[in-house]
Structure formats: structure tokens, C-alpha cells
Structure 1
Amino acid sequence: MGPHRPCNDMLPQAENLLRTIAGEETGWVPRQELFFNNPRIVQRVLGRPPVGDFREELDFACEIGWGSVRATSWGARIGARNETASDGTSHYAGGSAIEMSDLDQLRGPDLDLLASTYAERASLVRGEGLLVHLFMLHCFHSAATGLGMERLCLMVYDQPELLAEYMRRVEAINREALAAVLSTGIVPDIAIFDADCSFKTAMMVSPAAYRELIFEPTAATARMLHDAAIIMLMHTDGRINEVYPVWLEMGVAGAHGVEAQANDLAEVKARFGNRMTLFGNFDPVILATERPRAIRALAREMVETGRSGGRYVAAVNTIVGDHVPVENYLAMIEGVDEAARA
């Protein structure tokens, strides 16, 4: 970390998270969700009706015991189709075919608005003694959802130049947005790539094709992060045994997910846990459907598996959605905390 963030300014949960990501064995497993959308849990924890503003997000993070808060996010993508369901909600409905000329439609965020919003929120987060993180959509996830998974797989062989150029342009946009963030003078502590690239049994494309597509453009973004002393994390669902080696080459400090339905936490920890910090891996289906007593026991077991040697952060392996019962999530927290301190 750079000099902008002295440890004595942090809340204990923030310092513990930072030290854990850095590889220290602190004797205290942090809790940190990266994907969360459950107003009922917010209301229970804060004791007031949710309003959905940033001040509420910050208050909730402090109260629930997280060490970091998202100050901004962005993503560049073309081709994705949405359809309206019978209940009036909009849902992702697949990707679309594109040509090289269509890539000019790729647009990043409004950089002035991004910088001003980030600066305001990051200042508030720092003022509370927490770490600042941001999210960006990784080039592979952008292509997989913008073009559609089947089309992307075909393009690996039929239109490799077009696919590679898509990846390059998305990461160039990510770097422009990062530059706008850095121009504020408030350097984020953590940058997270939303980088889904794997199914439950294997990667979406071959490991060789994945590396060829993403390595050069992502490494350029990674260098920008490293030069600014920003911690680099990546998220994917699915099977990770062939994903993490590529990410480690680019200097990733940690990975979020370790999806329980696709990976054995003990095996992943044994293979990668001395080189990167693992975030996960509580199953969101179990979280939504099991009884609190069972959830508490499973959370305790998860932490007992993950904490050996440090470099482990307890989390749900995807999103804590609004379908999760309040009592179930609170039971998970209780189970984590029971096993969190060595």
C-alpha cells in the first residue's frame, strides 16, 4: 500500500482485511461480501427502513463488520440483449453478433462524473476508517455476456482478430476510467475485476485460448494498478483450477468466489493459498434454503478449512440476494465469527 493509507487511520476490520490480503496470518479471519443486495438484512442490522443511498451502504458496512466499501464501478459492453418479463422486470436475454465496425460503439463511463462521484464516496469511506474498493467489468466477462457464450466460443476459431480487438478495447476503456479515478488524488486500496470465465466443470474456453485472449490487455491494466500500489483482485464463478494460474501471472493478490458447487476449498487452499488470498466459499443456494442452525455449522466448518495459513476471507461465493432470509445470513455470520479467531 502507498503512503496515502496509514494503518492507524483504519478500523480494526479494515486493517485485518488489508493484512490478510497481503499474506499475513493475523489469527482473525475477516468477513467481506463483494456482491450484496438484500434490503431486509440492511434494515435488521441498521434498525431503520432502508433508503438505498451511499450513506446507508457505508453505515451498513461499518455495522456488519466489513473492512472495505465500493466507491465506484463501471463496465463497457456491446451486444447484450434484455427482454421484459411478464412481471415487468428486465432480464438478460443473450448476446448479439457484431462486426469490427461495431466496436466503435464501445463506450466507457462519463469520466468527469465518475471522478467526482468516486472522490465524494471515497472521502466518506476513508473518513469512516474503511478501505476503498472499485469494480470494473473484465474484458472476457464483457465479451461473454455482450456477444453470448456460444458465439464467443465460435469466434475463438472463426473471428479471433475481432474477439481479440474487443478484449483490447474494453481494457483500454478500463484504463481510461482508472486514470480518471487516480486524477482525484484518492488512490483506491483495492480494484476488483468482475471476470467470470468458467462453468462448474471447466473454463468457458480452453486455458490456452483464454490466456491468449486476455493476457496482454489485462496485464496492461494490471501494470497500471501495480504502479499505483492498488491491490488487484478478480472474481469468477465456476471451476478455477485452470483460471488462477493465469491470474497469478498477472500479479493478482486475491480471488473471490471459489464456488462451492464447483471446487473443494481445502484443495484450492492447498494449491493456491500460499500465493493468493481466497474469498469465499459459502454456497448461496444453501444460504437461501437451509435452516439457520445448519448454516451456522456449515459456516464454521468453512472457516476452519480456509483459515489454515492465513490468506482467507469468509464470504458467500456469489451474491447475497434479496431472496436470502435475514436469519440465514445472520446465522452464517455467527458461524464464521465462532471459528474466525485462532
Structure 2
Amino acid sequence: MHKFPHLPIERAQPDCERFIDAVMGRVLPERPPLVEYLIDDALRKPIVTDLLGRTWVDPRPGDQPSWLAYMDNFIAVWYQLGYDFVRYEQGLPLAERYIMGDDPSRSNGIRAWNDLSHGTIATWQDFETFAWPEVTPAFFANYEYLARNLPEGMGLIVSHGGGIYEHLSALFSYEGLCMALYDQPDLVAAVAQRLGELFLQVYRQLVQIEGVAAVFQGDDMGFRTATLLPPEALRTYTLPWHARYADLAHDAGLPYFLHSCGNLTEIMPDLIDTVQIDAKHSFENAIVAADQFQALYGSHIGVLGGVDIDILGRGSEAEIRAETRWLMESCGERGRYAIGSGNSIPSYIPLESFLSMLDEAQR
């Protein structure tokens, strides 16, 4: 592995309170703190074994020791790469349809895509017979373990795995949802209500866990040129639930961050004024670069990440470092900014590209 002079950080000094203060605009740090949404196991594994010199353990269903070892490594990666927090999410078991395919970049060689044409709910009978999960204490065990075992100064940033729009479109399928908006709006409303209430139960408990520092929900509502549903449909079925989750977070003294891909121009006023998000994540230079977004909305909300995935995926080390430095300088001096990827760290990002971004951010 290529040597990175600033990684790993052997004696990290995380300060999650400082991170939150920076993103909320209460302080202007000398350099932007790090932020990330997800780091795929395909990269986390070689970081654990090659960079940190630890033993990787795959978590096995029902095997608590393997899960605890996995969680310890999970913490170590975020800690020794220089983050002030650990972000963790897991989703309730919802029966959704996937299309499976080979993907050599994944640790298990397989990738699953949502079936866009065939969902599990298409009729009222499907809805009434659907096996809706229960929110049990066991669901929170991993969150609680992470919160109890964080290094001093670190915080836990939490989310339910997948947002209400994402699960609504997965249960119907995207095509099915688009049709149902006009053919069966009452069914769409019922499914959205059931999902929204389930996730509300999750968040009511997550915000009470000691050590939780923020909610950072993901819900991809857009594509290259627009939102995936008409803005009015999002205002009817999904955004009110985001507003309720944000209210829960705010009532607990926590910020509510949103990761959402795509062009959300038409609903940005809703996200800022109605949902009242505190910061936005997920940027693509082909839509709106992070610095351009900050110029438009930075007086209202924080900006998280922005190093374009295309640059991380295909760029040279010099290009990645230049993009990282540019964002740190242009966005960092305005404040309410944290540096990281424009989306996440998926399996197909070269490890050395990810580490180049982090090393530059620590320079």
C-alpha cells in the first residue's frame, strides 16, 4: 500500500462537539472537519488489516462475538482515519424485491439493485397481508454498543437504513409507485403512513441513546435533472415525515442532516424552511458542485462533502488532492462546511484514492 504521511492517526483527538459546532456555524475552524456517509466493507477491510494492522472479522448472523469484533473494527476505522464521529445505520427488515448481479468490486462479489418494475405491494390485499416488521429492543443493540465504546471525544451519528421515499419506491417498485400516484393515491398514502410511523418509532429511541450527536438520514429523491417524483408528491407523502424526524432530533438538541442524491432544486425551499434540515450531503459536479451549492444555500444550512465520485473513482492522486484542497479552501473559508466525498465511499472507489482525499484533508 502507498504510504500516506498523515494516516493512520495513531493518537487521534476527536471532538464531535467541535464538528457539530463547525457544521452549525457556531465556530469557524482552521480547517474543515472530515465527514462521510458510508464506507463500504470492500475498502474498510484492507484499511483494518493493512493500514491499522488489525484482524478483520466478518459478522455472522447470530454470532455475537463476531459482531462485536466487527463493531470494534468499525469504530477503529473512523477513529484512526481522523473522523470526529462514527456514522452507523441499519434498516428494519422490509420485504423488498431486488435484482442480483455479479460485482467483483464488492467483498462478496454480488450487488443488489432494487427491482424498478415489480414491487411487493401493488394492491390493498398486498398491503393488508404484508409482514410489517416490529421495532424491538434488539434492533438498537448495535447502536448502543457503538455509543458505549466510542473513544473519548467521538460521537455517534445515526440513521435508519434508507429513507421513507426510498422504501416507498422499493415496496411499490419505482414504476409501480409512479402509476399508483394517479391510480391508487389512497394506497400510496397508507404505505407512506405505515413506513413513516415505523421510522418514527426508530427515531424516538435513537435520539435518546447517550452519545448520539446527530441524525444523518439518507433518502435519495432526485436524479440528474429533477426529483424522481413530482415535487408535490414528495410534499404530500415523504417530506412531512422528514419534518417530523427533524423535529424529534431538534427537540433532543440534535441536528438533522440529510443525504439526498440528485437535483433537488425544486424542493430545496421545503427542505430548508419546512423540514428544517441543518445540513445537506451528496453533491455531483454535473448537477451542482458543493461550492456552487454553498453559494446558493450556505447562509441557511451546512454543506457536507463534495469531492466528486467521478474524480474519486477515475482521477489521479494529484487530481483528487487538488479537488480536496480546492473545496477545503473555497468552502472552508465560508464556514458551515465539512470535507468528504460527494456521495459515499462505494466498493468501486480505489482505496488509495479514498486515502489520498483523507491525507490531503489532514495536511
Question: TM-score, normalised to structure 2's length?
Answer: 0.81
| Closer, same or farther: CA 139–43 of 1 in aligned 2, 3 Å | same
Give matches, 1:136-147, under 5 Å.
136=160, 137-147=162-172
Residue of 47, 72, 75 corresponding to 1:41 = 47
Deviation at 1:195, TM superposition (A): 0.7
The residue that corresponds to 2:86 in the other structure is 69
Give matches, 1:123-138, under 5 Å.
123-125=148-150, 127-136=151-160, 137-138=162-163
Give matches, 1:1-342, under 5 Å.
11-24=13-26, 25-37=28-40, 38=43, 39-51=45-57, 53-75=70-92, 77-83=94-100, 85=102, 89=110, 91-94=112-115, 95-96=118-119, 97-104=121-128, 105=130, 107-108=132-133, 110-125=135-150, 127-136=151-160, 137-181=162-206, 185-186=209-210, 188-248=212-272, 249-338=274-363
User: 1:274 and 1:175 mapped to 2: Cα distance?
Assistant: 29
Deviation at 1:86, TM superposition (A): 9.5
The residue that corresponds to 2:4 in the other structure is none
Q: What CA deviation, in whole Å up to 9, does each residue of 1:183-214 have, x standing for no partner?
A: 6x526211122110000111112222211222
User: 2:349 and 2:137 mapped to 1: Cα distance?
Assistant: 37
Do the aligned partners of 2:291 and 2:327 also contact (CA within 8 Å) in 1? no
The alignment yields a C-alpha RMSD, in angstroms, of: 2.5
Do the aligned partners of 1:139 and 1:195 also contact (CA within 8 Å) in 2? yes
| Closer, same or farther: CA 93–21 of 1 in aligned 2, 3 Å | closer
Give me the identity figure in percent: 20
The amino acid across from 2:301 in the alignment is M
Tell which deviates more after alignment, 198-207 or 37-46: 37-46
User: 2:113 and 2:303 mapped to 1: Cα distance?
Assistant: 29
User: 1:27 and 1:316 mapped to 2: Cα distance?
Assistant: 20
Do the aligned partners of 1:77 and 1:107 also contact (CA within 8 Å) in 2? yes
The amino acid across from 1:177 in the alignment is V
User: 2:13 and 2:271 mapped to 1: Cα distance?
Assistant: 30
Do the aligned partners of 1:111 and 1:177 also contact (CA within 8 Å) in 2? no
Do the aligned partners of 2:258 and 2:277 also contact (CA within 8 Å) in 1? yes
Deviation at 1:65, TM superposition (A): 0.6
| Closer, same or farther: CA 224–164 of 1 in aligned 2, 3 Å | same
Do the aligned partners of 2:257 and 2:277 also contact (CA within 8 Å) in 1? yes
Do the aligned partners of 1:134 and 1:192 also contact (CA within 8 Å) in 2? yes
| Closer, same or farther: CA 86–12 of 1 in aligned 2, 3 Å | closer
The amino acid across from 1:118 in the alignment is Y
SS in 2 for 1:190: strand
| Closer, same or farther: CA 106–260 of 1 in aligned 2, 3 Å | farther
| Closer, same or farther: CA 215–33 of 1 in aligned 2, 3 Å | closer
The amino acid across from 2:297 in the alignment is F
SS in 2 for 1:281: coil
| Closer, same or farther: CA 211–76 of 1 in aligned 2, 3 Å | farther
Do the aligned partners of 2:284 and 2:309 also contact (CA within 8 Å) in 1? no
The residue that corresponds to 1:6 in the other structure is none
Deviation at 1:140, TM superposition (A): 0.7
Do the aligned partners of 2:81 and 2:358 also contact (CA within 8 Å) in 1? no
Do the aligned partners of 1:133 and 1:190 also contact (CA within 8 Å) in 2? yes
Q: Which blocks of at least 5 consecutive residues in structure 1 are unaligned? A: 1-9
Q: Which blocks of at least 5 consecutive residues in structure 2 are unaligned? A: 1-11, 59-69
